[in-house]
Structure 1
Amino acid sequence: MQYRNYNNSSNYFWLGLIIFSLFGGFKTVLLLIPIVFVFLPVLLIGFVFIQIIRAIAKNSSINSGLQGASVDRTKFVELFTRLLIHLAKADGKVDQSEITAIKSFFHVQLRFGQAQLKWIDDIIIAAQNHSYSIDELLKECKENFDHSTHLLLLELLYHVANADGHISSSEVKVIEKIIKTLGISDFEHKQVKSKYNMSNSDEDYYLILGLEKSASQDEIRKAYKAAAKKFHPDTVQHLGEDFKSVAEEKFKGITKAYNYLKK
Structure 2
Amino acid sequence: MAGLKWIGATLGWTLGGPIGAIIGLALGSLGDAMAGKGNLLGDGNPNTQQRRQPNYRTKPNYRTQQQRRAQTTSGDFEVSLLILASVIIKADGVQDQRELDFVRSKFVELYGKDRANKAFKLFKSISNQNVSTRDVCAQIQQMMDHASRLQLLHFLFGIAKADGMVTDDEEDQVQRISNYLGISSRDYSSIKAMFYNSSDNAYKILEIDKTATTDQIKKAYRKMAKKYHPDRVEHLGEEHRKGAEEKFKQVQKAYEFLQDERRF
User: 2:99–2:163: 8 Å Cα contact kept in structure 1?
Assistant: no
Distance 1:256 1:129, change over 3 A: closer
Q: Does 1:178 pair with 2:204?
A: no
| Distance across 1 between alignment mates of 2:112 and 2:229 | 26
Name 2:124's counterpart in structure 1: 125
1:211 is aligned with what amino acid? I
Name 2:148's counterpart in structure 1: 149
User: 2:107–2:116: 8 Å Cα contact kept in structure 1?
Assistant: yes
Quick one: which of 208, 211, 218 aligns to 2:208? 211
Name 1:45's counterpart in structure 2: none
Quick one: which of 221, 235, 238 aligns to 1:238? 235
Q: Return the TM-score normalized by structure 1.
A: 0.67
1:143 aligns to what SS in structure 2?
helix
User: 2:99–2:159: 8 Å Cα contact kept in structure 1?
Assistant: no
Q: Does 1:10 pair with 2:7?
A: no
From the CA coordinates, give the structure whose radius of gyration is larger. 1
1:130 aligns to what SS in structure 2?
coil
| Distance across 1 between alignment mates of 2:126 and 2:102 | 16
1:213 aligns to what SS in structure 2?
coil
User: 2:87–2:127: 8 Å Cα contact kept in structure 1?
Assistant: no
1:159-215 CA-to-partner distances (Å, cap 9, x unmatched) read 12111210011101111111211222222122212222234x6x4432321222221
| Distance across 2 between alignment mates of 1:129 and 1:208 | 35
**1:261 CA displacement:** 3.6
Name 1:223's counterpart in structure 2: 220
More divergent stretch after superposition (236-245 vs 146-155): 236-245
1:198 is aligned with what amino acid? N
| Distance across 1 between alignment mates of 2:101 and 2:246 | 24
| Distance across 1 between alignment mates of 2:112 and 2:231 | 24
Unmatched tracts of structure 2, length 5 or more: 1-17, 38-70
| Distance across 1 between alignment mates of 2:100 and 2:82 | 10
| Distance across 2 between alignment mates of 1:196 and 1:161 | 10
1:47-105 CA-to-partner distances (Å, cap 9, x unmatched) read xxxxxxxxxxxxxxxxxxxxxxx961111111111111111111234344533332122
1:114-146 CA-to-partner distances (Å, cap 9, x unmatched) read 321232223213313333311122012112211
User: Greater share of helix residues, 1 or 2?
Assistant: 1
**1:7 CA displacement:** 8.8
| Distance across 2 between alignment mates of 1:249 and 1:128 | 26
| Distance across 2 between alignment mates of 1:196 and 1:71 | 27
Distance 1:198 1:137, change over 3 A: same
Q: Return the TM-score normalized by structure 2.
A: 0.66
User: 1:105–1:160: 8 Å Cα contact kept in structure 2?
Assistant: no
Distance 1:97 1:232, change over 3 A: closer
User: 1:90–1:174: 8 Å Cα contact kept in structure 2?
Assistant: yes
More divergent stretch after superposition (1-10 vs 190-199): 1-10
Report % sequence identity: 32
| Distance across 1 between alignment mates of 2:184 and 2:36 | 45
Question: How large is the RMSD of aligned CA atoms in angstroms?
Answer: 2.6
User: 1:190–1:207: 8 Å Cα contact kept in structure 2?
Assistant: yes
Q: Does 1:257 pair with 2:254?
A: yes
| Distance across 1 between alignment mates of 2:127 and 2:221 | 40
2:129 is aligned with what amino acid? H
1:141 is aligned with what amino acid? I
